[in-house]
Chains A and B, each alone.
Chain A
């Protein structure tokens, strides 16, 4: 505790960081199991400390409480100063609770999942480091310090995707993830620097953006007009969010990132890191409200991504890729929520999604584990009986993902959809596309359930019983997946309505958009009804198409042992194949960037070889010629050198004499 009663915030990221340090430095002297225990206890302690901080924040007296803690000044470069400092407000509270809480459960799960792996210590070291970096990201009190955490999580993500580095594809996936997110990071850095120019980097006071918005000409930025600059800054930050949160058009890395161990996918590529973009936009909400164009772009990117990823998820055959696309889609919803000004609801969807998506990934991990690494859903089937517990928790997660009524996903998604229609930033097109996506979501979710757990067993492996640690922690997540929605019931419900929004009001305040028109509470009730119908319709369609007896959709033709990447077209229908390949984004990038770049590098290689090297070789040849001339004198005989020197001295003396007029 510090003097004024603010808890020691730095302890939250410091604990997992210390865990990582201990694991990296000392764990090689110990049994690999110890690393897991250290990692779990570090994250667990951090979680407990977050609970303490949260309790203190909630019970703190006074209006709009928040904790800040400045450790030391990090950068002091003229007009820009950045501290190593922490901010703990309601947004941070949500994020830190999820990062440490869900993180703790995933760590527990990993202890069982990674048992016997060669890189167990490395795995836990990076997991702890990741948690520390993520906590720095969400707790930093300024954009520069946040950027440190932002890069830290990207780095850990790279290491963990490439965990099984013996396989070439995994390394390629890690590199791809790193480079694509890196591209986004460049936008983010530019955006942060622009923001630093405009209104400083501190998150403690964002009113600077409001001042800039009112200026016709901003002196510190070439006299450009304020709204224009804010729009540019908003779009640049959105670019950063696109990279990290796998939004269109930088989404291609996330499906490939599933090459990492499943707990990594659950923690980094579903629950926490990929939502950093959501955090970023929520943190800069003032800027976005002041720049409506950028906000509209956010909404469009969000809903577009949600729709795109849902269509792709419909046809994937790899269980983890389905979940990856669904993650992209769900983050699209969050971004949509932010884009219509409903910042708290974007965070609420993040909150619920973290539980049910982590749950789905971990349950999928259990299935994969039980089937000795099989990931193709068409080779699973009928696991309902043999993996009873897993089936139940998976069903909870799937219900939440599909948005079945009264689950967490239902409330959070429905609220976003309603706001996308009714706020001043919303419009019916966003709402409609969101609804279609909800239908697709329900279809692909239950396709997964039916194909994996129902029907006949197609696996050639013996299904072994998962150990308790692979199932028990999931129950906690399942509980939240089912009931977390009650934290924010719709407005038309008399009790507990909009609790979450009120909770976050100290942060977002009057920047938060509110529904207007479309019938108010009655309209909201109608929208909820519509989304209930839609999700049940999705369930029905999935049953029709994929129930055990149905043979409407042909099973994709994949040979045993074929990987996702080596089979670009498993279906007969070309549309399905196109969706399967993620709308051919990879091919388009290959054609648009990779191949031209190769050609360019080929050309520059020619220039380098022929012209630049030519110049050097020419000069080398000249030197060599002169050298061979001089070589005649260099015969290694000292007396010859002395003679030449003597001759030189003689010549010098004579020149001196005649120079003096003798």
Chain B
């Protein structure tokens, strides 16, 4: 049952991610990405990480992607202008990246194939996760807090500068 759920979620994730790449309308792309993230959250669930599944939906899909949507709306990028940003129109441009990534992905899978032990049967409870997070990795939590602080300060500063586009500050 879990396996079937996993496969359905995985297929949805891959397809919607592909749609993100090849969609011409940025709004659609963002929506597809949200779908993809929901699917990945499902995958998390099947991997025995329900807390992360929730976090994925709330933070990634709920906060980050909405921010993207916001910007897309704000810049009025809704209707795509004549093919300027979809280079994929020429199949030639896809050749090299596709080859490289395929080889890379295959190599990775190949490398992991023999080396991976059988998965554990028991999932990780939220309690265990919280304990690990605030006990063993507490320093990392603080660093993450700093990153968020820096991110918010940087966003505020850039946003302030953007309100006066012709001052020197914006000409970085």
Point out the residues of chain A lying under 8 angstroms from B108, CB to CB. Answer: 653
Point out the residues of chain B lying under 8 angstroms from A654, CB to CB. Answer: 107
State in angstroms the CA–CA spacing of A662 and B111 once bound together: 9
B interface footprint on A623-662 (CB within 8 Å = 1, 0 otherwise): 0000000000000000100010011011001100100001
A653 lies within 8 A of B107 (CB): yes
A643 lies within 8 A of B104 (CB): no
State in angstroms the CA–CA spacing of A654 and B108 once bound together: 10
A interface footprint on B97-122 (CB within 8 Å = 1, 0 otherwise): 10011011001100100000000000
State in angstroms the CA–CA spacing of A647 and B96 once bound together: 9
State in angstroms the CA–CA spacing of A650 and B106 once bound together: 11
* 8 Å CB contact of B101 from A646, A657, A662: A646
Number of interface residues of A (CB under 8 A): 10
Q: Specify the main secondary structure of chain A where it touches its partner.
A: helix
B100 lies within 8 A of A646 (CB): yes
Q: CB of B162 within 8 A of chain A?
A: no
Number of interface residues of B (CB under 8 A): 10
Chain B nearest CB, measured from A546 CB (Å): 74
B103 lies within 8 A of A650 (CB): yes
**Given A639-B87, A657-B111, A650 contacting B104 (CB threshold 8 A):** yes
A643 lies within 8 A of B97 (CB): yes
State in angstroms the CA–CA spacing of A502 and B157 once bound together: 82
B97 lies within 8 A of A646 (CB): yes
State in angstroms the CA–CA spacing of A646 and B101 once bound together: 8
Output the nearest chain A residue to B114 by Cβ-Cβ distance. Answer: A662
Considering residues A639, A650, A654, which has the most beta carbons from chain B within 10 angstroms of its beta carbon? A650
State in angstroms the CA–CA spacing of A662 and B108 once bound together: 13
State in angstroms the CA–CA spacing of A654 and B96 once bound together: 17
B97 lies within 8 A of A653 (CB): no
A646 lies within 8 A of B104 (CB): yes
Point out the residues of chain B lying under 8 angstroms from A649, CB to CB. Answer: 104
Chain B nearest CB, measured from A660 CB (Å): 9
Point out the residues of chain A lying under 8 angstroms from B111, CB to CB. Answer: 653, 657, 662
State in angstroms the CA–CA spacing of A94 and B108 once bound together: 95
Point out the residues of chain B lying under 8 angstroms from A647, CB to CB. Answer: 100
Chain B nearest CB, measured from A433 CB (Å): 75
A653 lies within 8 A of B104 (CB): yes
B107 lies within 8 A of A657 (CB): yes
Q: Which of B67-94 contact A (CB under 8 A)?
A: 87
State in angstroms the CA–CA spacing of A649 and B97 once bound together: 12
A interface footprint on B133-161 (CB within 8 Å = 1, 0 otherwise): 00000000000000000000000000000
State in angstroms the CA–CA spacing of A593 and B103 once bound together: 76
Point out the residues of chain B lying under 8 angstroms from A653, CB to CB. Answer: 104, 107-108, 111
State in angstroms the CA–CA spacing of A129 and B87 once bound together: 77
Point out the residues of chain B lying under 8 angstroms from A646, CB to CB. Answer: 97, 100-101, 104
Chain A nearest CB, measured from B29 CB (Å): 17
Chain A nearest CB, measured from B90 CB (Å): 13
7 A–B pairs (Cβ distance < 8 Å), ordered by A: A643-B96, A643-B100, A646-B100, A653-B104, A653-B108, A653-B111, A657-B111
Residues of B within 8 A of A (CB): 87, 96-97, 100-101, 103-104, 107-108, 111
List the 10 shortest-distance A-B pairs measured between CB atoms, nearest first. Answer: A646-B100, A650-B104, A653-B107, A650-B100, A650-B103, A653-B104, A643-B96, A647-B100, A643-B97, A649-B104
7 other A-B residue contacts (CB within 8 Å) besides A646-B97, A646-B100: A643-B96, A646-B104, A647-B100, A650-B104, A653-B104, A653-B108, A662-B111
